[in-house]
Structure 1
Amino acid sequence: MRMFVQYLQEKGYAENTVDSYSFAICQLIDKTQSLTNQSLLAHKEWLVSSFAPKTVNNRIGAINTYLDFIAFDGIRLKGVRIQQKPFLDNVISNEQYMQLISGLKQDGDWFWYFIVRFLGCTGARVSELRQFKVEHVTAGYMDIVSKGQKLRRIWIPDSLREESLTWKAKPMNGLLFPGKNDNAITSRGISVGLKRAALRYGVDQDVVYPHSFRHLFAKNFINRNPDISLLADLMGHESIETTRIYLRRTADEQRAAVDEAVNW
Protein backbone atom coordinates (compact mmCIF):
# COMPACT_ATOMS: atom_id res chain seq x y z
CA MET A 1 0.00 0.00 0.00
CA ARG A 2 2.88 2.34 0.75
CA MET A 3 4.16 2.00 -2.81
CA PHE A 4 0.69 2.72 -4.19
CA VAL A 5 0.45 5.88 -2.06
CA GLN A 6 3.89 6.95 -3.28
CA TYR A 7 2.78 6.29 -6.86
CA LEU A 8 -0.29 8.51 -6.41
CA GLN A 9 1.78 11.27 -4.84
CA GLU A 10 4.31 11.16 -7.66
CA LYS A 11 1.43 11.43 -10.15
CA GLY A 12 0.36 14.65 -8.44
CA TYR A 13 -2.89 13.44 -6.89
CA ALA A 14 -4.35 15.74 -4.22
CA GLU A 15 -3.97 14.70 -0.58
CA ASN A 16 -7.71 14.07 -0.24
CA THR A 17 -7.67 11.84 -3.32
CA VAL A 18 -4.68 9.87 -2.04
CA ASP A 19 -6.46 9.26 1.27
CA SER A 20 -9.72 8.32 -0.48
CA TYR A 21 -8.01 5.95 -2.93
CA SER A 22 -5.97 4.33 -0.17
CA PHE A 23 -9.13 3.67 1.84
CA ALA A 24 -10.88 2.20 -1.21
CA ILE A 25 -8.03 -0.23 -1.88
CA CYS A 26 -7.76 -1.29 1.76
CA GLN A 27 -11.50 -1.98 1.62
CA LEU A 28 -11.07 -3.99 -1.58
CA ILE A 29 -8.24 -6.10 -0.16
CA ASP A 30 -10.17 -6.67 3.06
CA LYS A 31 -13.26 -7.93 1.24
CA THR A 32 -11.67 -10.02 -1.53
CA GLN A 33 -9.48 -13.05 -1.02
CA SER A 34 -7.85 -12.68 -4.42
CA LEU A 35 -8.16 -10.34 -7.38
CA THR A 36 -10.05 -11.95 -10.23
CA ASN A 37 -12.57 -10.65 -12.72
CA GLN A 38 -15.30 -12.37 -10.74
CA SER A 39 -14.21 -10.98 -7.36
CA LEU A 40 -13.96 -7.45 -8.82
CA LEU A 41 -17.49 -7.67 -10.23
CA ALA A 42 -18.77 -9.03 -6.91
CA HIS A 43 -17.09 -6.15 -5.08
CA LYS A 44 -18.72 -3.66 -7.43
CA GLU A 45 -22.13 -5.22 -6.70
CA TRP A 46 -21.45 -4.80 -2.98
CA LEU A 47 -20.45 -1.16 -3.48
CA VAL A 48 -23.60 -0.42 -5.49
CA SER A 49 -25.79 -1.99 -2.80
CA SER A 50 -24.02 -0.15 0.03
CA PHE A 51 -23.21 3.37 -1.14
CA ALA A 52 -24.46 6.34 -3.15
CA PRO A 53 -23.52 6.37 -6.87
CA LYS A 54 -20.97 9.17 -6.43
CA THR A 55 -19.14 7.19 -3.73
CA VAL A 56 -19.31 4.03 -5.85
CA ASN A 57 -17.69 5.82 -8.79
CA ASN A 58 -14.99 7.22 -6.55
CA ARG A 59 -14.16 3.72 -5.26
CA ILE A 60 -14.23 2.32 -8.80
CA GLY A 61 -11.86 5.04 -9.95
CA ALA A 62 -9.50 4.12 -7.13
CA ILE A 63 -9.72 0.41 -7.94
CA ASN A 64 -9.01 0.93 -11.65
CA THR A 65 -6.03 3.13 -10.82
CA TYR A 66 -4.73 0.41 -8.50
CA LEU A 67 -5.28 -2.29 -11.14
CA ASP A 68 -3.23 -0.22 -13.58
CA PHE A 69 -0.54 0.26 -10.93
CA ILE A 70 -0.16 -3.50 -10.35
CA ALA A 71 -0.60 -4.20 -14.09
CA PHE A 72 -3.55 -6.49 -13.40
CA ASP A 73 -4.25 -8.59 -16.49
CA GLY A 74 -8.01 -8.50 -16.34
CA ILE A 75 -11.04 -6.24 -16.51
CA ARG A 76 -11.44 -2.63 -15.44
CA LEU A 77 -14.69 -1.78 -13.73
CA LYS A 78 -17.21 0.54 -15.34
CA GLY A 79 -18.71 3.36 -13.31
CA VAL A 80 -22.39 3.63 -12.52
CA ARG A 81 -24.61 6.28 -14.03
CA ILE A 82 -25.45 9.22 -11.79
CA GLN A 83 -28.84 10.79 -12.38
CA GLN A 84 -28.26 14.52 -12.13
CA LYS A 85 -30.94 16.53 -10.36
CA PRO A 86 -32.32 19.49 -12.32
CA PHE A 87 -31.54 21.74 -9.35
CA LEU A 88 -28.76 22.28 -6.82
CA ASP A 89 -29.13 21.01 -3.27
CA ASN A 90 -27.70 22.42 -0.05
CA VAL A 91 -25.85 25.39 -1.53
CA ILE A 92 -25.18 28.40 0.68
CA SER A 93 -27.09 31.53 -0.32
CA ASN A 94 -25.65 35.02 -0.53
CA GLU A 95 -27.67 35.97 2.54
CA GLN A 96 -26.26 33.07 4.55
CA TYR A 97 -22.75 33.87 3.29
CA MET A 98 -23.08 37.49 4.43
CA GLN A 99 -24.50 36.37 7.79
CA LEU A 100 -21.48 34.13 8.30
CA ILE A 101 -18.77 36.65 7.35
CA SER A 102 -20.51 39.48 9.21
CA GLY A 103 -20.54 37.45 12.42
CA LEU A 104 -16.91 36.39 12.04
CA LYS A 105 -15.83 39.95 11.29
CA GLN A 106 -17.74 41.37 14.22
CA ASP A 107 -16.08 38.87 16.56
CA GLY A 108 -12.63 39.54 15.07
CA ASP A 109 -12.25 35.87 14.13
CA TRP A 110 -10.02 36.76 11.19
CA PHE A 111 -8.63 33.29 10.51
CA TRP A 112 -12.07 31.82 9.77
CA TYR A 113 -13.34 35.05 8.26
CA PHE A 114 -10.66 34.85 5.58
CA ILE A 115 -11.12 31.11 5.06
CA VAL A 116 -14.77 31.80 4.21
CA ARG A 117 -13.85 34.82 2.09
CA PHE A 118 -11.19 32.96 0.10
CA LEU A 119 -13.52 30.03 -0.52
CA GLY A 120 -16.33 32.32 -1.61
CA CYS A 121 -14.29 34.78 -3.69
CA THR A 122 -11.81 32.51 -5.50
CA GLY A 123 -13.71 29.30 -6.28
CA ALA A 124 -10.80 27.32 -4.82
CA ARG A 125 -11.21 23.69 -3.85
CA VAL A 126 -10.43 22.93 -0.22
CA SER A 127 -7.18 21.19 -1.25
CA GLU A 128 -6.20 24.34 -3.16
CA LEU A 129 -7.17 26.68 -0.32
CA ARG A 130 -4.66 24.90 1.91
CA GLN A 131 -1.86 25.85 -0.50
CA PHE A 132 -2.37 29.61 -0.41
CA LYS A 133 0.65 31.54 0.83
CA VAL A 134 1.09 35.21 1.67
CA GLU A 135 3.26 35.49 -1.44
CA HIS A 136 0.25 34.51 -3.56
CA VAL A 137 -1.82 37.25 -1.97
CA THR A 138 0.92 39.76 -2.74
CA ALA A 139 1.00 38.60 -6.37
CA GLY A 140 -2.80 38.49 -6.62
CA TYR A 141 -3.00 34.91 -7.87
CA MET A 142 -1.85 31.32 -7.30
CA ASP A 143 -0.89 28.93 -10.09
CA ILE A 144 -1.89 25.29 -9.72
CA VAL A 145 -0.66 22.44 -11.93
CA SER A 146 -3.23 19.65 -12.12
CA LYS A 147 -2.44 15.94 -12.33
CA GLY A 148 -2.95 16.28 -16.09
CA GLN A 149 -0.16 18.88 -16.11
CA LYS A 150 -2.68 21.60 -16.96
CA LEU A 151 -2.01 25.03 -15.50
CA ARG A 152 -4.84 26.75 -13.65
CA ARG A 153 -4.53 30.25 -12.25
CA ILE A 154 -6.66 31.09 -9.21
CA TRP A 155 -7.18 34.85 -9.11
CA ILE A 156 -7.51 36.77 -5.85
CA PRO A 157 -9.84 39.77 -6.35
CA ASP A 158 -8.27 43.14 -5.51
CA SER A 159 -10.69 43.88 -2.66
CA LEU A 160 -9.89 40.54 -0.98
CA ARG A 161 -6.19 40.93 -1.72
CA GLU A 162 -5.97 44.33 -0.03
CA GLU A 163 -8.04 43.25 2.98
CA SER A 164 -6.06 40.06 3.56
CA LEU A 165 -2.69 41.81 3.20
CA THR A 166 -3.72 44.13 6.02
CA TRP A 167 -4.47 41.03 8.11
CA LYS A 168 -1.21 39.32 7.14
CA ALA A 169 1.01 42.41 7.19
CA LYS A 170 3.60 40.37 9.10
CA PRO A 171 5.01 37.93 8.27
CA MET A 172 5.07 38.55 4.52
CA ASN A 173 5.61 34.91 3.61
CA GLY A 174 4.49 31.44 4.58
CA LEU A 175 1.16 29.63 4.59
CA LEU A 176 -1.92 31.81 4.74
CA PHE A 177 -3.84 29.23 6.78
CA PRO A 178 -1.43 27.25 8.96
CA GLY A 179 -2.57 24.47 11.26
CA LYS A 180 -0.64 22.61 13.92
CA ASN A 181 3.17 22.70 13.81
CA ASP A 182 3.01 25.36 11.07
CA ASN A 183 1.77 22.80 8.54
CA ALA A 184 -1.25 23.65 6.39
CA ILE A 185 -4.56 23.21 8.17
CA THR A 186 -6.11 19.88 7.20
CA SER A 187 -9.14 19.59 4.95
CA ARG A 188 -11.05 17.99 7.81
CA GLY A 189 -10.01 20.83 10.08
CA ILE A 190 -11.50 23.32 7.62
CA SER A 191 -14.75 21.36 7.32
CA VAL A 192 -15.16 21.07 11.09
CA GLY A 193 -14.30 24.73 11.64
CA LEU A 194 -16.88 25.84 9.09
CA LYS A 195 -19.59 23.76 10.78
CA ARG A 196 -18.74 25.34 14.14
CA ALA A 197 -18.91 28.82 12.64
CA ALA A 198 -22.30 28.03 11.07
CA LEU A 199 -23.64 26.86 14.44
CA ARG A 200 -22.27 29.97 16.16
CA TYR A 201 -24.00 32.39 13.80
CA GLY A 202 -27.24 30.53 13.22
CA VAL A 203 -26.57 29.43 9.64
CA ASP A 204 -27.88 26.06 8.44
CA GLN A 205 -24.95 23.67 8.88
CA ASP A 206 -26.10 21.56 5.92
CA VAL A 207 -25.14 24.35 3.51
CA VAL A 208 -21.81 25.24 5.14
CA TYR A 209 -19.07 23.00 3.76
CA PRO A 210 -16.05 23.86 1.56
CA HIS A 211 -17.51 22.91 -1.82
CA SER A 212 -20.69 24.90 -1.12
CA PHE A 213 -18.66 28.12 -1.39
CA ARG A 214 -17.30 26.96 -4.75
CA HIS A 215 -20.90 26.70 -5.94
CA LEU A 216 -21.56 30.18 -4.54
CA PHE A 217 -18.58 31.63 -6.41
CA ALA A 218 -19.65 30.05 -9.70
CA LYS A 219 -23.32 31.05 -9.41
CA ASN A 220 -22.46 34.64 -8.54
CA PHE A 221 -19.85 34.90 -11.28
CA ILE A 222 -22.11 33.55 -14.03
CA ASN A 223 -24.87 35.94 -12.92
CA ARG A 224 -22.51 38.88 -13.45
CA ASN A 225 -20.51 37.55 -16.39
CA PRO A 226 -22.30 35.03 -18.66
CA ASP A 227 -19.06 33.79 -20.28
CA ILE A 228 -19.31 30.10 -19.38
CA SER A 229 -15.99 29.30 -21.11
CA LEU A 230 -14.23 31.76 -18.81
CA LEU A 231 -15.95 30.28 -15.78
CA ALA A 232 -14.87 26.78 -16.84
CA ASP A 233 -11.25 27.99 -16.96
CA LEU A 234 -11.56 29.70 -13.58
CA MET A 235 -13.04 26.55 -12.03
CA GLY A 236 -10.44 24.26 -13.59
CA HIS A 237 -13.01 22.19 -15.48
CA GLU A 238 -11.92 20.11 -18.45
CA SER A 239 -15.35 20.37 -20.05
CA ILE A 240 -17.95 23.13 -20.17
CA GLU A 241 -20.55 20.41 -19.50
CA THR A 242 -19.18 20.15 -15.97
CA THR A 243 -19.61 23.89 -15.54
CA ARG A 244 -23.22 23.89 -16.71
CA ILE A 245 -24.43 22.64 -13.33
CA TYR A 246 -23.81 26.15 -12.01
CA LEU A 247 -26.43 27.51 -14.40
CA ARG A 248 -29.00 25.57 -12.42
CA ARG A 249 -30.94 27.14 -9.60
CA THR A 250 -31.51 25.75 -6.15
CA ALA A 251 -34.86 24.15 -5.37
CA ASP A 252 -35.87 27.27 -3.39
CA GLU A 253 -34.89 29.52 -6.32
CA GLN A 254 -36.92 27.37 -8.70
CA ARG A 255 -39.93 27.59 -6.38
CA ALA A 256 -39.61 31.40 -6.15
CA ALA A 257 -39.27 31.73 -9.93
CA VAL A 258 -42.36 29.58 -10.55
CA ASP A 259 -44.41 31.48 -7.94
CA GLU A 260 -43.43 34.79 -9.53
CA ALA A 261 -43.94 33.74 -13.15
CA VAL A 262 -47.11 31.65 -13.00
CA ASN A 263 -50.09 33.96 -12.54
CA TRP A 264 -52.56 32.43 -14.97
Structure 2
Amino acid sequence: MNIRILSTEQITAYDTYLRIEERAAGTREKYLRDVQAFVCWLNGAAVTKEAVTSWKERLLAEHRAPSTVNAALSALNGLFRFLGWEDCRTRFVRVQRRLFRDPARELTRPDYDRLIAAARELGRDRLALVMEAICSTGVRVSEIRYLTVEAVQRGRAEISLKGKVRTILIPTKLARKLLKYAKKNKTVSGEIFLTGNGKSLSRRQIWAEMKRLCVHAGVEPSKVFPHNLRHCFATAYYRAYRDIAKLADVLGHSSIETTRIYLLTSGAEHQRQLDRLGLVS
Protein backbone atom coordinates (compact mmCIF):
# COMPACT_ATOMS: atom_id res chain seq x y z
CA MET A 1 0.00 0.00 0.00
CA ASN A 2 1.31 3.40 -1.01
CA ILE A 3 1.99 5.88 1.78
CA ARG A 4 0.57 9.23 0.68
CA ILE A 5 2.49 12.25 1.87
CA LEU A 6 1.42 15.62 0.51
CA SER A 7 4.35 17.46 -1.04
CA THR A 8 4.87 21.12 -1.87
CA GLU A 9 5.11 20.17 -5.54
CA GLN A 10 1.67 18.51 -5.46
CA ILE A 11 0.08 21.52 -3.81
CA THR A 12 1.71 23.86 -6.32
CA ALA A 13 0.44 21.67 -9.17
CA TYR A 14 -3.06 21.84 -7.65
CA ASP A 15 -2.87 25.63 -7.63
CA THR A 16 -1.89 25.58 -11.31
CA TYR A 17 -4.83 23.28 -12.02
CA LEU A 18 -7.23 25.66 -10.25
CA ARG A 19 -5.86 28.55 -12.30
CA ILE A 20 -6.36 26.60 -15.54
CA GLU A 21 -9.91 25.85 -14.39
CA GLU A 22 -10.34 29.64 -14.11
CA ARG A 23 -11.09 29.61 -10.41
CA ALA A 24 -11.10 33.10 -8.93
CA ALA A 25 -7.91 34.26 -7.22
CA GLY A 26 -9.73 34.49 -3.90
CA THR A 27 -11.02 30.93 -4.25
CA ARG A 28 -7.54 29.61 -5.03
CA GLU A 29 -6.11 31.46 -2.05
CA LYS A 30 -8.80 30.04 0.25
CA TYR A 31 -8.33 26.49 -1.05
CA LEU A 32 -4.57 26.59 -0.60
CA ARG A 33 -4.93 28.06 2.88
CA ASP A 34 -7.21 25.18 3.88
CA VAL A 35 -4.89 22.60 2.32
CA GLN A 36 -1.91 24.06 4.19
CA ALA A 37 -3.88 23.99 7.44
CA PHE A 38 -4.57 20.29 6.88
CA VAL A 39 -0.89 19.62 6.12
CA CYS A 40 0.16 21.40 9.32
CA TRP A 41 -2.37 19.36 11.30
CA LEU A 42 -1.01 16.12 9.77
CA ASN A 43 2.47 17.09 10.97
CA GLY A 44 4.17 14.72 8.54
CA ALA A 45 1.69 11.86 8.84
CA ALA A 46 0.28 10.09 5.80
CA VAL A 47 -2.97 11.12 4.14
CA THR A 48 -5.73 8.58 4.74
CA LYS A 49 -9.52 8.67 4.77
CA GLU A 50 -9.35 8.24 8.55
CA ALA A 51 -7.04 11.23 8.87
CA VAL A 52 -9.35 13.42 6.81
CA THR A 53 -12.35 12.34 8.89
CA SER A 54 -10.44 13.06 12.10
CA TRP A 55 -9.56 16.54 10.83
CA LYS A 56 -13.23 17.19 10.04
CA GLU A 57 -14.17 16.12 13.57
CA ARG A 58 -11.42 18.34 14.99
CA LEU A 59 -12.79 21.38 13.14
CA LEU A 60 -16.30 20.67 14.41
CA ALA A 61 -14.95 20.22 17.95
CA GLU A 62 -13.45 23.70 17.65
CA HIS A 63 -17.00 24.96 17.03
CA ARG A 64 -16.29 25.98 13.46
CA ALA A 65 -19.43 26.76 11.49
CA PRO A 66 -20.57 23.83 9.31
CA SER A 67 -20.26 26.03 6.22
CA THR A 68 -16.64 26.79 7.17
CA VAL A 69 -15.89 23.10 7.67
CA ASN A 70 -17.53 22.22 4.35
CA ALA A 71 -15.52 24.89 2.55
CA ALA A 72 -12.32 23.36 3.92
CA LEU A 73 -13.45 19.86 2.92
CA SER A 74 -14.26 21.12 -0.56
CA ALA A 75 -10.65 22.28 -0.92
CA LEU A 76 -9.35 18.89 0.20
CA ASN A 77 -11.78 16.86 -1.89
CA GLY A 78 -10.78 18.87 -4.94
CA LEU A 79 -7.12 18.18 -4.22
CA PHE A 80 -7.70 14.46 -3.77
CA ARG A 81 -9.67 14.25 -7.00
CA PHE A 82 -6.84 16.07 -8.79
CA LEU A 83 -4.30 13.61 -7.36
CA GLY A 84 -6.45 10.58 -8.05
CA TRP A 85 -6.81 9.84 -4.33
CA GLU A 86 -10.58 9.36 -4.58
CA ASP A 87 -10.66 7.04 -1.57
CA CYS A 88 -9.51 9.94 0.66
CA ARG A 89 -12.48 12.13 -0.18
CA THR A 90 -14.96 12.61 2.66
CA ARG A 91 -18.57 13.64 3.02
CA PHE A 92 -19.61 17.18 3.84
CA VAL A 93 -21.33 18.08 7.08
CA ARG A 94 -25.06 17.91 6.54
CA VAL A 95 -26.66 21.27 7.24
CA GLN A 96 -30.39 21.91 7.49
CA ARG A 97 -31.43 24.91 5.43
CA ARG A 98 -31.51 27.98 7.65
CA LEU A 99 -34.78 29.85 8.06
CA PHE A 100 -33.24 33.18 8.98
CA ARG A 101 -29.92 34.99 9.08
CA ASP A 102 -27.60 34.94 12.06
CA PRO A 103 -28.17 38.37 13.71
CA ALA A 104 -24.48 38.50 14.64
CA ARG A 105 -23.64 38.58 10.92
CA GLU A 106 -26.56 40.60 9.58
CA LEU A 107 -25.45 43.95 8.16
CA THR A 108 -28.49 46.23 8.21
CA ARG A 109 -29.04 49.38 6.19
CA PRO A 110 -28.32 51.62 9.22
CA ASP A 111 -25.09 49.67 9.78
CA TYR A 112 -24.11 50.28 6.15
CA ASP A 113 -24.92 53.98 6.41
CA ARG A 114 -22.78 54.29 9.54
CA LEU A 115 -19.85 52.60 7.80
CA ILE A 116 -20.03 54.97 4.84
CA ALA A 117 -20.29 57.99 7.14
CA ALA A 118 -17.36 56.80 9.26
CA ALA A 119 -15.16 56.27 6.20
CA ARG A 120 -15.85 59.80 5.01
CA GLU A 121 -15.29 61.32 8.44
CA LEU A 122 -11.91 59.60 8.58
CA GLY A 123 -10.98 60.81 5.12
CA ARG A 124 -11.06 57.32 3.61
CA ASP A 125 -12.89 58.37 0.48
CA ARG A 126 -11.61 55.46 -1.60
CA LEU A 127 -12.96 52.92 0.90
CA ALA A 128 -16.32 54.71 1.11
CA LEU A 129 -16.64 54.64 -2.68
CA VAL A 130 -15.56 50.97 -2.90
CA MET A 131 -18.27 50.03 -0.41
CA GLU A 132 -20.87 52.07 -2.29
CA ALA A 133 -19.81 50.50 -5.59
CA ILE A 134 -20.21 46.96 -4.24
CA CYS A 135 -23.45 47.66 -2.40
CA SER A 136 -25.15 49.55 -5.26
CA THR A 137 -24.25 47.09 -8.04
CA GLY A 138 -24.02 43.73 -6.27
CA VAL A 139 -20.59 42.91 -7.68
CA ARG A 140 -18.26 40.57 -5.83
CA VAL A 141 -15.27 42.21 -4.18
CA SER A 142 -13.06 40.36 -6.70
CA GLU A 143 -15.04 42.02 -9.53
CA ILE A 144 -14.41 45.67 -8.72
CA ARG A 145 -11.43 45.56 -11.10
CA TYR A 146 -14.00 45.57 -13.90
CA LEU A 147 -15.14 49.03 -12.82
CA THR A 148 -12.87 50.84 -15.27
CA VAL A 149 -13.05 54.39 -16.54
CA GLU A 150 -14.24 53.06 -19.89
CA ALA A 151 -16.95 50.90 -18.29
CA VAL A 152 -18.23 53.74 -16.16
CA GLN A 153 -18.35 56.06 -19.17
CA ARG A 154 -20.49 53.45 -20.98
CA GLY A 155 -22.65 52.99 -17.90
CA ARG A 156 -22.12 49.22 -17.87
CA ALA A 157 -19.35 46.75 -17.10
CA GLU A 158 -18.70 43.36 -18.68
CA ILE A 159 -17.66 40.94 -15.94
CA SER A 160 -15.94 37.68 -16.79
CA LEU A 161 -15.69 35.18 -13.96
CA LYS A 162 -15.98 31.42 -13.53
CA GLY A 163 -16.25 30.94 -17.28
CA LYS A 164 -19.28 33.25 -17.53
CA VAL A 165 -19.69 36.79 -18.79
CA ARG A 166 -22.41 39.04 -17.45
CA THR A 167 -23.21 42.71 -17.85
CA ILE A 168 -23.92 44.91 -14.87
CA LEU A 169 -25.39 48.38 -15.12
CA ILE A 170 -23.81 51.18 -13.13
CA PRO A 171 -26.24 53.52 -11.34
CA THR A 172 -26.05 57.06 -12.70
CA LYS A 173 -25.18 58.64 -9.36
CA LEU A 174 -22.44 56.08 -8.74
CA ALA A 175 -21.04 56.66 -12.24
CA ARG A 176 -20.72 60.40 -11.56
CA LYS A 177 -18.90 59.75 -8.27
CA LEU A 178 -16.57 57.19 -9.85
CA LEU A 179 -15.61 59.50 -12.73
CA LYS A 180 -15.06 62.38 -10.31
CA TYR A 181 -12.82 60.15 -8.19
CA ALA A 182 -10.90 58.97 -11.26
CA LYS A 183 -10.36 62.55 -12.43
CA LYS A 184 -9.14 63.59 -8.98
CA ASN A 185 -6.58 60.77 -9.05
CA LYS A 186 -5.61 61.48 -12.70
CA THR A 187 -6.83 58.05 -13.82
CA VAL A 188 -7.75 58.45 -17.49
CA SER A 189 -8.24 54.77 -18.34
CA GLY A 190 -8.32 51.31 -16.83
CA GLU A 191 -9.20 50.34 -13.26
CA ILE A 192 -10.51 53.10 -11.03
CA PHE A 193 -9.66 51.59 -7.65
CA LEU A 194 -5.91 51.26 -7.30
CA THR A 195 -3.33 51.28 -4.51
CA GLY A 196 -0.76 54.05 -4.17
CA ASN A 197 1.57 51.90 -6.26
CA GLY A 198 -0.94 51.59 -9.07
CA LYS A 199 -1.89 47.98 -8.31
CA SER A 200 -5.36 46.49 -8.00
CA LEU A 201 -6.94 46.53 -4.56
CA SER A 202 -6.92 43.05 -3.05
CA ARG A 203 -9.83 41.39 -1.29
CA ARG A 204 -7.73 41.17 1.87
CA GLN A 205 -6.90 44.89 1.80
CA ILE A 206 -10.54 45.89 1.44
CA TRP A 207 -11.51 43.45 4.19
CA ALA A 208 -8.87 44.88 6.56
CA GLU A 209 -9.84 48.50 5.85
CA MET A 210 -13.51 47.73 6.51
CA LYS A 211 -12.67 46.00 9.80
CA ARG A 212 -10.74 49.07 10.95
CA LEU A 213 -13.88 51.17 10.51
CA CYS A 214 -15.95 49.14 12.96
CA VAL A 215 -15.10 50.92 16.21
CA HIS A 216 -15.50 54.38 14.73
CA ALA A 217 -18.78 53.41 13.03
CA GLY A 218 -20.17 51.58 16.07
CA VAL A 219 -20.85 48.40 14.06
CA GLU A 220 -20.01 44.89 15.29
CA PRO A 221 -16.95 43.53 13.44
CA SER A 222 -18.72 40.18 12.88
CA LYS A 223 -21.09 42.00 10.50
CA VAL A 224 -18.44 43.81 8.52
CA PHE A 225 -16.87 42.10 5.52
CA PRO A 226 -17.10 42.85 1.78
CA HIS A 227 -19.44 40.00 0.86
CA ASN A 228 -22.07 41.33 3.25
CA LEU A 229 -22.37 44.43 1.06
CA ARG A 230 -23.44 42.11 -1.76
CA HIS A 231 -26.07 40.64 0.57
CA CYS A 232 -27.32 44.17 1.33
CA PHE A 233 -27.73 44.81 -2.39
CA ALA A 234 -29.61 41.54 -2.88
CA THR A 235 -31.99 42.25 0.00
CA ALA A 236 -32.71 45.82 -1.15
CA TYR A 237 -33.21 44.74 -4.77
CA TYR A 238 -35.60 41.93 -3.91
CA ARG A 239 -37.65 44.08 -1.54
CA ALA A 240 -38.02 46.68 -4.28
CA TYR A 241 -38.79 44.42 -7.26
CA ARG A 242 -39.63 40.90 -5.96
CA ASP A 243 -37.94 39.32 -9.00
CA ILE A 244 -35.63 36.56 -7.78
CA ALA A 245 -34.85 35.28 -11.29
CA LYS A 246 -33.56 38.65 -12.45
CA LEU A 247 -31.71 39.12 -9.18
CA ALA A 248 -29.94 35.78 -9.76
CA ASP A 249 -28.82 37.04 -13.18
CA VAL A 250 -27.59 40.33 -11.74
CA LEU A 251 -25.60 38.53 -9.04
CA GLY A 252 -24.20 36.01 -11.50
CA HIS A 253 -25.72 32.96 -9.80
CA SER A 254 -26.22 29.79 -11.84
CA SER A 255 -28.93 28.60 -9.47
CA ILE A 256 -31.80 30.49 -7.88
CA GLU A 257 -31.24 28.32 -4.81
CA THR A 258 -27.99 30.22 -4.23
CA THR A 259 -29.87 33.51 -4.50
CA ARG A 260 -32.41 32.35 -1.92
CA ILE A 261 -29.62 32.12 0.66
CA TYR A 262 -29.06 35.86 0.20
CA LEU A 263 -32.72 36.58 0.94
CA LEU A 264 -33.11 34.96 4.34
CA THR A 265 -35.11 37.13 6.69
CA SER A 266 -33.63 38.37 9.93
CA GLY A 267 -34.32 36.56 13.18
CA ALA A 268 -36.42 39.50 14.40
CA GLU A 269 -38.51 39.48 11.22
CA HIS A 270 -39.02 35.73 11.49
CA GLN A 271 -40.14 36.20 15.11
CA ARG A 272 -42.73 38.80 14.01
CA GLN A 273 -44.02 36.39 11.37
CA LEU A 274 -44.51 33.68 14.00
CA ASP A 275 -46.22 36.10 16.38
CA ARG A 276 -48.66 37.18 13.65
CA LEU A 277 -49.91 33.61 13.30
CA GLY A 278 -51.82 34.08 16.55
CA LEU A 279 -51.68 30.43 17.48
CA VAL A 280 -51.18 31.03 21.20
CA SER A 281 -54.33 32.02 23.12
Tell me the TM-score normalized by structure 1: 0.87
Residue by residue over 1:86-145, the C-alpha shift from the partner in whole angstroms, topping out at 9 and shown as x without a partner, is 212322222222233244446653201201101210112222224533222223233233
Give the structure 2 partner of residue 76 of structure 1.
Answer: 89
8 A Cα contact 2:100 2:264, kept in partner: yes
Structure 1 unmatched runs, 5+: none
Give the structure 1 partner of residue 164 of structure 2.
Answer: 150
Give the structure 2 partner of residue 198 of structure 1.
Answer: 214
Give the structure 2 partner of residue 136 of structure 1.
Answer: 151
1:221 Cα deviation (Å)?
A: 0.2
Query: Percent identity among equivalent residues?
Result: 31
8 A Cα contact 2:138 2:251, kept in partner: yes
**Structure-2 separation of matches of 1:205 and 1:45:** 28
**Structure-2 separation of matches of 1:69 and 1:236:** 27
8 A Cα contact 1:91 1:216, kept in partner: no
**Structure-1 separation of matches of 2:117 and 2:86:** 57
Give the structure 2 partner of residue 16 of structure 1.
Answer: 26
Cα RMSD of the aligned pairs, angstroms, is: 2.6
8 A Cα contact 2:135 2:229, kept in partner: yes
Give the structure 2 partner of residue 66 of structure 1.
Answer: 79
1:261 Cα deviation (Å)?
A: 8.4
**Cα distance 1:178–1:40, how it changes in 2: closer, same or farther (>3 A)?**
same
Which moved further from structure 2: 22-31 or 198-207?
Answer: 198-207
Give the structure 2 partner of residue 165 of structure 1.
Answer: 179
Give the structure 2 partner of residue 49 of structure 1.
Answer: 61
1:260 Cα deviation (Å)?
A: 7.9
Describe how 1:97-246 pairs up with structure 2 within 5 A: 97-105=112-120, 109-147=124-162, 149-169=163-183, 170-179=186-195, 181-246=197-262
One-letter amino acid of the counterpart of residue 162, structure 1: R
Residue by residue over 1:42-101, the C-alpha shift from the partner in whole angstroms, topping out at 9 and shown as x without a partner, is 333333333321121111111111112212252422211123332123222222222332
Equivalent residues, number: 263
8 A Cα contact 1:130 1:186, kept in partner: no
8 A Cα contact 2:168 2:250, kept in partner: yes
One-letter amino acid of the counterpart of residue 58, structure 2: W
Tell me the TM-score normalized by structure 2: 0.82
Structure 2 unmatched runs, 5+: 1-10
**Structure-2 separation of matches of 1:132 and 1:178:** 11
**Structure-2 separation of matches of 1:257 and 1:73:** 46
8 A Cα contact 1:131 1:184, kept in partner: no
